[in-house]
A and B are shown apart, each in its own frame.
Chain A
Amino acid sequence: MDNIFKFAAGIFTTLGFAWLAFVVGAKMQYGALSPEAEMLEDDGSRPVDAELYPKALSGLAQQGGEDYQALGCMTCHTQQVRLVEAGFDVERGWGKRPSVPRDYVMQKNVLLGNTRVGPDLANLGMREYSDEWLHRHLFEPQALVPDSLCPPSPFLYVVSEEEKDGSIEIPATDEEVSRFVRPSFRARGIVSYLQSLQQDYELPEMSFIEVENEVEELVVDKPADGNASSAGVPDWLARQISSGKEIYMKAAPGGGLCFSCHQPTGLGLPGQFPPLAGSDWVLGDKERLIKISINGLMGEIEVNGVKYNNVMAPPGIPPGSLTDSQIADVLTYIRNEWGNSASAVSASEVAVVRAATKDRAAMQMWTAAELSSSSQPAP
């Protein structure tokens, strides 16, 4: 203790043990991992011609990864789906399976992160956002997700008032008129990097966990008299459905009043109000369904082989006032009641449609003709 050299030898030895384990030992254990096939043969050999995962990033995505790091995005976003015992990441839909060490061997800088102010991004590329949506989000998240804490990065874009080649529209908000932004090279890199984040392959050491697929199946396979709150429906879905039912039935501000026309039975009134039960409008194309829930519907339509010619003003009290998540909930409800069963609608899906149809005047209702050939301008 009193001799500085012996003392130093002592304290370096204690440190050295931990070093041996965490640095030397860990490296021996899994430092040599390399990309692998999704499945191995029974004898443990790799099938011939099998694709190997993970794949290397494209040059643009790699560049984007550098910028993602330089801007410090990893201070709020992790990139790791935890084991099922350790958290609810898979249930939350942040990945099809927990992340494993092999997923990261092709990355130059591994950005696992340790704080989640924002959602995990390990599988952002699997969430099927369009590049355009991601650019809008990168430019100003608050234009898409109200009250988002994700910081805007306007310095990555050239902003102008009118549309130019390759520019993206940022829809108008209460305070601002709509703007057009042109992504810089760096912005395109970051979006390409974000889209490349996906652990959408299985590996010999980890296969997909069935939670998410169960959700889809449960909804699809429900018996004809399926009740939304029947056991087996995941919590979040049950919640969305029950909130949607409330909106469907509510006759006060914030409600949708849908029941007064389409009836609590979902059967409508012959000749006046079309049914929602079994309707292809409800179970089919989500985008069309969202569009009419935002702006309403008029003119001749056909539902279950019967023609109707009436007007549905933009739903909500006051008209057109339903928020993205309210629309998502009520649509999820009508898609899963009265024997209907189809996948849930999420608030972000509504947000995407709303953003894309921003030009439409609030009370300009859709017509069937317009919806069936959406490329044609409104008559």
Chain B
Amino acid sequence: MKESPEQVIDRSAKLVVSFFVASAGLWLLAAALLAYIVAAKLTDPFFLSGIEYLTYGKVKIAQANAFVYGWGGNSIFAATLWIIARLSQAEVRGRIFLLFAGTLWNLGITAGLLGILDGKMNAHELLEMPTEVWPVLFIGYSIIAFLALVIHRSREHSSTIAPQWFILSSLLWFPALFLIAWNGLELNPARGTLQTVLSMWFGQSLIWLWLTPMALGAAYYVIPAIMGIVIDKYYLAIFGFWCIAALAPWSVLNHLVGGPVPMWIPAVGTVMSIAMIFPIAVASTNFHATAFKDVGKVWNSLPLRFVIFGTLSYTLSSYIGVIFSLPAVAKLTQFSIINEFHFNQRVYGFFSMIIFGVVYHMLPKITGREIGTGSKTFHFWTSAAGVMMLLLAYLIGGLTHGVLAQQPSLDWASSVISSVQPYFLITKIAFVILGFSQLVFVINVWKVIFPNPLAYILDGSPERKEKSA
């Protein structure tokens, strides 16, 4: 039987993509467990309090890193390689190097997280993993990025489209940001609050320039692919792209307002966050105008439902972000747990939901096996409910926290924080729901990747079996 070109590409991507998706799933579970511990410690400070490896601060930071680099990194690699290969109509090559680099990446993160729990953390936002592991991560990342670019360079058609711009820029921005931060914090460490400016710029830009373009690119690819129609008002996409490229790196430092840094730094951040309205509007027009052409299809296709949930969440969160950067509002909510709202909205409600959709779209094609609709639907509803519950708790709790903190006469522990405590309880419940949801996702994914673990172990890889069959 002759394979179609798509099938050839999918087969070339199978091993590598499966590896990255499977590891991403494990990190997702690790992050879910850590998130539960963090939330439980906020409702009962004595929870696991005797174990030095699991202090609140360490677990919280390990959780963020497991989520961003473990789950985020691995799933970015999987989606990037497959989408780039499909769009280039070229096979994935250098698989053995990809697997090697992926192993480096995962070992690096494992060592990094253990280092954090062992008390070796750095204090720089999303660079908390100990100094020693970063070169390893960087080498691993560079190999993967290089091979992805090789696939892109061997593409059939020289013209490029929106998903390629977004995904390639995400691929390239991460190392650039990293090198800037590494130079300014490790090689030639800055003094005083310059450190904070740089580390905050890195940490926030990482979300804006690494996770965000990846998820947007994936949405630009998956929506038309599943719906079978072109993106509505596609000509706007290029404008949206360059707006993000030009504005996003400026828009992240508004959280420093009133702090011990030159005033222009947060001021620029505020202005630029407001300007971010334009690219947000473009992306949401593109996605939602297309989706609303055939709402039934969006509803019936689970991958698409995940992706559209993600894009809606992107639009909403970004507008809320704009509102919260207005000086009058920022004054209230700065330093409150609204920060958790922003982070979770972006990495959970937006990035992860889109990635779930992409994985559900991609895996059946690659492995030739379907994932049960029932368990996918369960995953969707529990995720959607868990995310909304989490975000509402952080939003309302954050506003309460912020407003009460602005009343100098209220005692801190007995008035301000005790009013926020009920919301911590809600987030704990939400993390339990999300944990179950993610467990179902991982089982779904592992079942199609390793359909029969026993046979797999006994007879070697299914690859070989299929070939001999």
Binding site for B on A (CB under 8 A): 1-2, 4, 7-8, 10-12, 14-15, 17-19, 21-23, 26-27, 29-31, 33, 67, 69-76, 78, 80, 82-83, 85-88, 91-93, 98-105, 107, 109-119, 141-142, 145, 147-155, 234-240, 325, 347
Contacts and interface: CB of A to CB of B under 8 A. Distances in A.
Contacts of B407: 88, 235
Interface stretch (B185-193, B310-318, B374-382, B448-456): B185-193
Contact of B56 (A11, A72, A82, A103): A72
Interface residues of B, number: 83
A151 B184 CA distance: 33
Given A26-B265, A151-B55, A151-B57, 13 more contacts: A23-B180, A31-B194, A72-B61, A73-B57, A88-B406, A101-B262, A112-B260, A113-B335, A117-B42, A117-B337, A148-B45, A150-B45, A153-B52
B197 A26 contact: yes
Interface string B224-262: 000000000000001000100110011001010111111
Nearest to A211: B408
A34 to B, nearest CB: 9
B60 interface: yes
A235 B408 contact: yes
Contact of A4 (B153, B265, B268): B153
Contact of B262 (A26, A104, A116, A347): A26
B292 interface: no
A346 to B, nearest CB: 9
Interface in B112-149: 119-121, 123, 149
Given A31-B191, A75-B60, A151 B41 contact: yes
A323 to B, nearest CB: 10
Contacts of A102: 192
B165 interface: yes
B331 interface: yes
B194 A88 contact: no
A119 B415 CA distance: 12
Interface string B174-208: 00110010001000001111111110110001000
17 contacts: A11-B173, A75-B60, A76-B56, A98-B260, A100-B260, A102-B192, A105-B191, A112-B196, A114-B335, A116-B335, A147-B413, A151-B55, A154-B50, A235-B408, A235-B409, A325-B414, A347-B414
Contacts of A71: 55, 57-58, 119
B253 A22 contact: yes
Contact of A155 (B50, B184, B260): B50
A26 B421 CA distance: 39
B442 to A, nearest CB: 27
Contacts of B41: 151
Interface string B413-433: 110011001000000000000
B408 A74 contact: no
A15 B249 contact: yes
B468 interface: no
B170 to A, nearest CB: 10
Contacts of A325: 411, 414
B49 interface: yes
B110 interface: no
A74 B125 CA distance: 11
A30 B263 CA distance: 12
Interface in B31-66: 41-42, 45-46, 49-52, 55-61
B254 to A, nearest CB: 12
A76 B265 CA distance: 24
B128 to A, nearest CB: 9
Contact of B172 (A12, A100, A101, A104): A12
B260 A2 contact: no
B68 to A, nearest CB: 16
A33 to B, nearest CB: 6
Contact of B258 (A30, A69, A74, A87): A87
A239 B415 CA distance: 13
Given A27-B190, A100-B260, A101-B260, A116 B405 contact: yes
A4 B121 contact: no
Contacts of A235: 407-409
A105 B192 contact: yes
B413 A145 contact: yes
A29 B198 CA distance: 14
A147 B458 CA distance: 55
B194 A27 contact: yes
A103 B172 contact: no
A80 B259 contact: yes
A235 B191 CA distance: 39
Contacts of A119: 412
Interface string B280-313: 0000000000000000000000000000000000
B172 A11 contact: yes
A108 to B, nearest CB: 9
Interface in B50-92: 50-52, 55-61
A154 B49 contact: yes
B250 A2 contact: no
Contacts of A105: 191-192
A93 B407 CA distance: 12
Q: Which of B242, B340, B408 has the most CB of A within 10 A?
A: B408
A110 B335 contact: no
B160 interface: yes
B367 interface: no
B4 interface: no
Contacts of A93: 408
Given A2-B159, A70-B119, A110 B152 contact: no
